[in-house]
Amino acid sequence: MLLRTWSLATGFALALLACQPAAASPDGGPDAGPCSVGFLGDEAGAPDFDMLVLDGQQTPGPLQDGGVAPMVAPPQGGRVIFVGVRATNVDGCGLQLTGALRDLATQQVRVDSRTVDLIPTGDGYGVSGAAGDSLISNFSNVAVCPNEWSATNVYGTAYGLEVTIQDREGRQVTRKIVVTPECGQPAEVAECECICQGGYVLGAPCDAGASE
């Protein structure tokens, strides 16, 4: 199986300590300044990646088929799923990262695409991420709530998650898994479940949390 178990906490921590990049642009792209990451892995190998997701404390962790995808409040409001990658056999500079959450019943989809520079981990891989406030800019911010697009509650329901990476030379790969979104910030569960429930009307009060 291409989604491998690995020591994310150690690898990601070492990457941040060893390679603190300059402040990134809003999408982590070319405006962030020169990128010196170079090619990651084997240029003759097929591009490959594992999925990452940020939790409510903006801590990255692996995301596998059948797993839970935390929904987190971003600065702009609502709820998003922050999806990143641990990738190899790609150019680590200017990587196009696209994440999409799909309603499996209706095929309605929410998509976010951005350009990111990966952080090398010293083992032929590079990870989404950056120091400080730039972290979330280097993850695909898939906006899922307010829920005006899916007929079911986003939380507690199985959805399809599709992630695609494409480097500057056109190397591309897509992975599709099934995840269950959940409200990722315990102190804000009532508001999260309110705006993420099926049939939510934009602007409806959320004092009582989600409706039954």
Q: What is the CATH number of the domain that holds 72?
A: 2.70.50
How many structural domains compose the chain?
Answer: 1
- The verdict on residue 210 lying in a domain is no
Enclosing domain of residue 146: 8-195
pLDDT at 212: 42
At 69, the amino acid letter reads A
Distance CA 97, CA 118 (A): 10
pLDDT 10s digits, 150-181: 989 999 999 999 999 999 999 999 999 999 99
Q: Which residue has the higher pLDDT, 147 or 34?
A: 147
Q: Give the model's confidence band at 39: pLDDT under 50 very low, under 70 low, under 90 confident, else very high.
A: very high
- The verdict on residue 211 lying in a domain is no
pLDDT 10s digits, 94-139: 999 999 999 999 999 999 999 999 999 999 999 998 755 578 999 9
- The verdict on residue 204 lying in a domain is no
